[in-house]
Copies of this chain bind each other. A is one copy, B any other.
Amino acid sequence: MAADPGSHDATTPAAPVTWPGGYQAAATLGFDMDAEDVALTVDPESRHRLSAMSHQAYGPLTGVPRVLDLLERYEVRATFFCPGYTAERYPDLLRRVRDAGHEIAHHGYLHEAIAGMSRDQEAAVLDRGLEALDRVAGVRPVGYRAPMWETTYASAELLLDRGFAYDSSLMDSDLPYQLAERPGEGARSIVEIPVSWALDDWEQFAFVPELFGPGVIEDPAKSLAMWTAELTEAHRHGSCFTLTVHPFLSGRLGRLRALETLIQTMLTLPGLWLAPARDLAEHVRSLDLTPRVFPQPEIPA
């Protein structure tokens, strides 16, 4: 007979979420401030590749300032998920993001892939990222997005221990929910704001030889059409549209123009609450939802 694969109906779907008065759906823009770090993590030897480094530096040097201008023009506040290494290498930029009123959230230190790390290693990375954001910009983030969206079954507890209010790395729902740190009585919970590979510019645009991507670079018109369709449906369903873009990719001119068009659409959708992830998390916390549990799957013998 088969081993029990974890639990019976181990997990339950996310409950519907009601939005604050007058809003029928939500959207949040997240800018992952990956720069040299994400390349260095994939291959430390890439530090000798000046062109690859410059490709990554496009984010902080050209992309982020342009994104800030765009957001200011439309009076939109967003969330910037910043690796500690980016913060230390571009401190003035991080302070500029902060001073513009945007949320700054945690995104690892060197954009480490957590998969395969021990709990202690994961904790050390969290602390190192916190330290960098604090030292550089005096920021104590309440939000976390795992680099490569790689979390472990220990992540929620580690985040709660450090006072985080939300995580944004899971993919089982279109709705925010309360995630229990573990199965069982007395478990604390954290707000989860789920993401989606289809709502990430990485799969559309990322390419650096021997580092990233499949080598197919898409037309921004394609991602705009895809994301607009997804946004329209999220609006219709009362869901939450969570977009992830990387200034080293989407800061390029044609792509930023497409992003501007998407923002214009957002602003015309009636009853769409466009807010930093922090605000969504705070609202979700206030709903006092039953926390959900993800029992780790066992592999049957």
A: residues with CB less than 8 A from B are 1-2, 4-14, 36-37, 40, 44-45, 47-55, 57-58, 60-62, 65, 84-85, 88-93, 109-110, 115-116, 128, 131-132, 146, 148-153, 155, 169-174, 194, 196-198, 203-205, 207-209, 213-223, 225-226, 229-230, 233-234, 237, 239, 252-254, 256-257, 294, 296-300
Contact check: which of B84, B152, B223 meets A49 at CB < 8 Å? Answer: B152
Q: Is the CB of A174 within 8 A of B229?
A: no
Q: Is the CB of A50 within 8 A of B297?
A: no
Q: Is the CB of A51 within 8 A of B297?
A: no
Q: Is the CB of A219 within 8 A of B226?
A: yes
9 further A-B pairs in the complex, CB-CB below 8 A; given A40-B297, A50-B153, A197-B207? A47-B298, A50-B155, A51-B146, A51-B171, A197-B217, A216-B218, A233-B253, A233-B254, A234-B253
Q: Is the CB of A55 within 8 A of B172?
A: yes
Contact check: which of B84, B172, B234, B256 meets A62 at CB < 8 Å? Answer: B172
A230 vs chain B, min Cβ distance (A): 4
Distance of A132 Cα from B217 Cα, bound (Å): 34
Q: Is the CB of A48 within 8 A of B153?
A: yes
Q: Is the CB of A296 within 8 A of B217?
A: no
**Which 5 A-B pairs give the minimum distances between C-beta atoms?**
A233-B253, A214-B215, A230-B254, A54-B170, A54-B172
Known: A48-B152, A58-B171. A89 touches B216 (CB 8 A): no
Q: Is the CB of A169 within 8 A of B51?
A: yes
Known: A146-B51, A150-B49, A216-B203. A172 touches B57 (CB 8 A): yes
